[in-house]
Amino acid sequence: MKALVKPAPGPGLELLDVPDPTPGPGDVVLRVLRTGICGTDLHIDAWDDWAANTVKAPLVLGHEFVGEVVEVGAAVTKVSVGDLVSGEGHLVCGRCRNCRAGRRHLCANTVGLGVHTIGAFAEYAVLPEGNAWVHRHQVDLDVAAIFDPFGNAVHTALQFPVLGEDVLITGAGPIGLMAVAVAKHAGARHVVVTDVSEPRLELARKIGATVALDVSANRIAAVYDELTMTEGFDVGMEMSGQPSALREMISNMTHGGRIAMLGLPAREIAVDFSAVVLKMITIKGVYGREMFETWYAMSVLLQAGLDLSPVITHRFHHTDHAEAFATARGGDCGKVILDWES
Q: Would you please indicate which residues are annotated as catalytic (active-site) residues? A: 40, 43
Strands in the chain per DSSP E: 2-6, 14-17, 27-36, 59-60, 65-72, 84-87, 90-91, 111-112, 124-128, 132-134, 166-170, 190-195, 211-214, 233-238, 253-261, 282-285, 312-317, 335-339
Q: Is 64 labelled as part of a ligand binding site?
A: yes
Contacts of residue 287, defined as CB under 8 A and 6 or more positions apart, other chains included, come to 105, 262
**What number of other Cβ atoms are within 10 A of residue 42's Cβ?**
16
Contacts of residue 16, defined as CB under 8 A and 6 or more positions apart, other chains included, come to 2, 3, 5, 7
Q: Is 286 labelled as part of a ligand binding site?
A: yes
**Residue 162 DSSP one-character state:** -
Q: Is 14 labelled as part of a ligand binding site?
A: no
Q: Please, is 238 exposed, middle or buried when counting C-beta atoms within 10 Å of its C-beta (0-12, 13-18, 19+)?
A: buried
Q: Is 257 labelled as part of a ligand binding site?
A: no
Q: Is 38 labelled as part of a ligand binding site?
A: yes
Q: Is 333 labelled as part of a ligand binding site?
A: no
Q: Is 224 labelled as part of a ligand binding site?
A: no
Q: Is 13 labelled as part of a ligand binding site?
A: no
Q: Is 63 labelled as part of a ligand binding site?
A: yes
Q: Is 331 left (phi over 0), alpha (psi -120 to 50) or beta?
A: left
| Residue 288 identity (one-letter amino acid) | G
Q: Are 341 and 320 in contact (CB under 8 A)?
A: no
Using DSSP's 3-state secondary structure scheme, residue 241 falls into coil
Q: Please, is 315 exposed, middle or buried when counting C-beta atoms within 10 Å of its C-beta (0-12, 13-18, 19+)?
A: middle
- Taking the CA atoms of 285, 286, 292 and 297 in sequence, report the sign of the dihedral they define: positive
Q: Is 293 labelled as part of a ligand binding site?
A: no
Q: Is 124 labelled as part of a ligand binding site?
A: no
Q: Is 173 labelled as part of a ligand binding site?
A: no
Q: Is 203 labelled as part of a ligand binding site?
A: no
Q: Are 228 and 210 in contact (CB under 8 A)?
A: no
Nearest CA-CA partner of 262 in 337, 341, 175, 174 = 175
Phi, psi of 35 (to 5 degrees): -135, 155
| Residue 244 identity (one-letter amino acid) | S
Q: Is 168 labelled as part of a ligand binding site?
A: no
Cα end-to-end span (Å), the chain: 12
Annotated binding-site residues read 38, 63-64, 93, 96, 99, 107, 175, 195, 200, 262-264, 286-287
Annotated binding-site residues for Zn(2+) read 38, 63-64, 93, 96, 99, 107
Annotated binding-site residues for NAD(+) read 175, 195, 200, 262-264, 286-287
